[in-house]
């Protein structure tokens, strides 16, 4: 078992990924925080040990014109590609969903939108130990 960043550090880095996206949007964009909760990593896809958590935060972004959503998606996708993210899913034109993973730290981030004015950004950390080190009983 190896050490990880702490849960608090993961939460901070999740916010950094989100705010990097928001910085690409017009200054009128207004954030409304949604869920920001740690989730157990008891059945992790990496077959790692129990006791780890992931940090996941979501925001709805208001005051953006839906007619410009596709242009915002293009801007964000291009920024991600130039800044070390791998695009995992781009469901356009069928749907407005874009999902990427940072090659530097394995954090994942997505944006999604709908035609009734909903624009969302969600980011999550990889599995981390709450204190950055494995629990003594592990």
Show me where the domains of the chain are located.
Answer: 7-43+51-124
- Predicted pLDDT at 135: 66
Q: Using pLDDT thresholds of 50, 70 and 90, give the confidence band for residue 89.
A: very high
State the pTM of this model: 0.90
What span, in angstroms and rounded, lies between the C-alpha atoms of 17 and 15? Answer: 5
Contact criterion met (CB below 8 Å) for 16 and 109: no
> How many separate helices (H) and strands (E) can be counted in the chain?
2, 6
Question: Which pLDDT belongs to residue 49?
Answer: 78
* pLDDT score, position 117: 84
Q: With cut-offs at 50, 70 and 90, classify the pLDDT of residue 45.
A: low
Residue 15 pLDDT greater than 80, yes or no: yes
pLDDT band at 91 (very low <50, low <70, confident <90, very high): very high
- Rounded Cα gap, residues 77 and 69, in angstroms: 12
Residues 34, 5: Cα–Cα separation, whole Å: 24
At 37 the pLDDT is: 81
pLDDT value of residue 1: 66
Gap between the Cα atoms of 77 and 134, Å rounded: 35
Query: In terms of pLDDT, which residue wins out, 122 or 138?
Result: 122
Q: What is the pLDDT of residue 44?
A: 55
Average the pLDDT over 129-135 and give the result: 86
| DSSP bridge partners of 39 | 54
pLDDT digits (tens, 9 = 90+) for 18-29: 999 999 999 999
* pLDDT value, residue 46: 61
Cβ–Cβ < 8 Å for 54, 124:
yes
């Amino acid at each position: 078992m190896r050490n990880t960043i702490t849960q608090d550090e993961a939460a901070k880095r999740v916010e950094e990924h989100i705010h990097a996206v928001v910085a690409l949007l017009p200054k009128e964009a207004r954030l409304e925080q949604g869920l920001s909760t740690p989730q157990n990593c008891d059945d992790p896809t990496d077959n790692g040990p129990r006791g780890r958590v992931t940090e996941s935060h979501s925001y709805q972004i208001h005051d953006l014109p839906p007619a410009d959503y596709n242009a915002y998606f293009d801007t964000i996708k291009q920024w991600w590609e130039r800044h070390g993210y791998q695009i995992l899913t781009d469901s356009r034109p069928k749907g407005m969903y874009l999902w990427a993973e940072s090659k530097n730290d394995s954090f994942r981030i997505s944006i999604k939108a709908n035609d009734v004015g909903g624009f969302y950004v969600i980011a999550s950390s990889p599995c981390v130990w709450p204190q950055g080190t494995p629990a003594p009983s592990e």
